[in-house]
Amino acid sequence: MWLLLVEDETRLATSLKMGLEEEGYVVDIASDGMEGEAMAMGSAYDALIVDWRLPQQDGKTVVEHVRAAGQNVPILMLTALDDVEHRVAGLDAGADDYLPKPFKFEELLARLRALLRRPPLNTQQDVIQVGGLELHTKQRLATLQGDKLELRTKEYALLEDFARHPNEIISRTVMAERVWGDAFYVTDNVIDVTISGLRHKLAEAMESHPDGEPLRIETVRGVGYRLVTE
């Protein structure tokens, strides 16, 4: 697994690189936002670890540019700014997960493993249909009434999990396990933010097709969520 670490604090970057290499990862370091963006665009990394505060341009901008270029590489953001606003802004920019500083190295490893986990190939159906929703699981592409949904990595994964279990309640713990790969480190907040993004995109797509079959994500208070078709 080949990682790009975009971090300007030399000591932290060096120690993370050493730790990650001991775990078998191959790690490149970029020490500012411009260099990080150029390296991310130029190579097929398996994952990016991007600090928020960087010289030249901040980590959020790097993530936005990488996503705007159409890359779905998994991205973990690091930041000393542990508040909900930044967390949401980081996820909105296109990061898949978020780790507040200071963190334990084991936690970084756990998040990384979760991000890098891929669904097993050839074990599941290629196209899933629920109402007007169609998922092409190999391409990780979702359409609603034929219109392509622009989804972030985890939004797609969540929608696919819902579509495999229509009208069934899925608890947050199961969601964390199946979509993020780790029930322990995923906060309810990250799940809620992802759900709300997905809801918004589904609602938007349905507005353009008022005659299409209704589809919505329902909150089952105290239990979880379900994809409801009528």
Residues in contact with Ca ion by CB under 5 A are 8, 51, 53
Parallel, antiparallel, or unpaired for β 47-51 and 2-6?
A: parallel
| Of 51 and 96, CB closest to Ca ion | 51
Nearest distance, CB of residue 65 and Ca ion, angstroms: 18
Report the residue number whose CB is nearest to Ca ion.
53
Tokens representing residue 32 in the block: 């500012």
| Of 37 and 51, CB closest to Ca ion | 51
In Å, what is the CA distance from 165 to each residue of 61, 120, 159, 161, 177?
36, 18, 10, 7, 15
| Of 51 and 97, CB closest to Ca ion | 51
Beta bridge partners of 170: 225
| Of 11 and 221, CB closest to Ca ion | 11
Nearest distance, CB of residue 17 and Ca ion, angstroms: 15
Nearest distance, CB of residue 68 and Ca ion, angstroms: 22
Nearest distance, CB of residue 157 and Ca ion, angstroms: 29
| CB-based contact 50:6 (threshold 8 Å) | yes
Cβ within 8 Å of residue 67, ≥6 positions away? 93, 94, 152
| Of 54 and 114, CB closest to Ca ion | 54
Distance CA 115, CA 181 (A): 7
Nearest distance, CB of residue 2 and Ca ion, angstroms: 22
3-state secondary structure of 71: coil
Which has the closest alpha carbon to 95: 62, 137, 118?
62
